[in-house]
A = this chain, B = another copy of it.
Amino acid sequence: MERNFERDLQILRERLLVMGGVAETMMHKAIQALVDRDEALAQAVLAHEEEMDLLCIEIDDRCLTLLALRQPMASDLRFIAAGIKINSDLERIGDQAVSIALRARDLIAQPQVKPLIDIPRMARLAQEMVRKSLDAFVRRDPDLARSVIEGDDQVDSLRDQVFRELLTYMMGDPGTIPRALELILVSRHLERIADHATNIAEDVIYIVRGEDVRERGDKELRKGLRLPGPKTA
C-alpha cells in the first residue's frame, strides 16, 4: 500500500511535468508565430488545446482519487492540494498561449508596427519562470521557487517598457493604434503567464515549508524588493 502510494505520487508529479511541457510548447510556438509572422505555427498552438483539456481532467481525477483512497496526511496532503492548484495554473497558461496565438494570427494579416524586441524578451523570462517553478516543484526547492517570485518584477518592468514604447507609436501615428493595442494585450497575456508561474512557486514554498507564504512571506519578500504599486505604467 505504502509503496503504491509513493508510486501514485510519482505519477502525479510526472503528469504535471508533462502538462508543464505542453504549456511551454504552446507559449513558445505562440510567440514564435508572432515574431516570425508564421500563421501555421499560430494554428499549431490551437491544436494543443484539447491535449491540455484532457490532461487537466486526468490530473484532477488523479488528485481526487489519491485524496479519497489514500487518506494522505501532512506533507502528502499539501502536495496533492498544491497539485490541484498547479494543474489549474498550467491550464490557464495554455489559455493565455491560445490568446497570444489568436492575436498573432490577426497581426500577421497586417503590416508590422515595429520589429519585436521586448515582447520576445518578456516571453523568454515568462517561459523561464514557468520552467523554474516546475523544477522547484520537482526538487521541492524553496530557494528556486523564491527566485521565480523575484523574477516577476523583471517581467512587470518589461511590460511597462512595452506599454510606453507602443504608446509613443500610437500617439505618433494613429493608424498604428489597433495593431499596437494588440501588442499591448500580448504583453498582458505574458504578464498573466508570469503571474501563474509565481502562483506555482508560492505553492511550492507552501508544500515545502508547510505554512502559507502566499500572503505572509511573499509580501515580506516583496517588501524588500519594491513597494507594491499600480499594475501599469
Q: Which residues of A contact B (CB under 8 A)?
A: 53-54, 56-57, 60-61, 63-64, 67-68, 71-74, 77-78, 81, 84-85, 88, 99, 102-103, 105-106, 167, 170-171, 174, 177-178, 181-182, 184-185, 188, 212, 214-215, 230-232
Q: Do B184 and A181 touch (CB < 8 A)?
A: yes
Nearest B residue to A78, CB-CB: B64
Q: Do A230 and B78 touch (CB < 8 A)?
A: no
Q: Do A105 and B230 touch (CB < 8 A)?
A: yes
20 other contacts beyond A68-B74, A88-B88, A106-B230, with CB at 8 A cut-off? A53-B215, A56-B215, A57-B215, A60-B81, A60-B212, A67-B67, A67-B77, A68-B77, A81-B84, A85-B88, A99-B230, A102-B231, A103-B230, A167-B177, A167-B181, A170-B170, A170-B177, A177-B177, A182-B232, A185-B232
Nearest B residue to A192, CB-CB: B192
Bound-complex Cα distance A182 to B181 (A): 11
23 residue pairs A–B, Cβ–Cβ below 8 Å: A53-B215, A56-B214, A56-B215, A57-B215, A61-B212, A63-B81, A64-B77, A64-B78, A67-B67, A67-B81, A68-B74, A68-B77, A71-B71, A84-B84, A102-B230, A103-B231, A105-B230, A106-B232, A170-B174, A174-B174, A177-B177, A181-B181, A181-B184
Bound-complex Cα distance A99 to B215 (A): 17
Chain B residues whose C-beta falls within 8 Å of the C-beta of A102 in the assembled complex: 230-232
Chain B residues whose C-beta falls within 8 Å of the C-beta of A170 in the assembled complex: 170, 174, 177
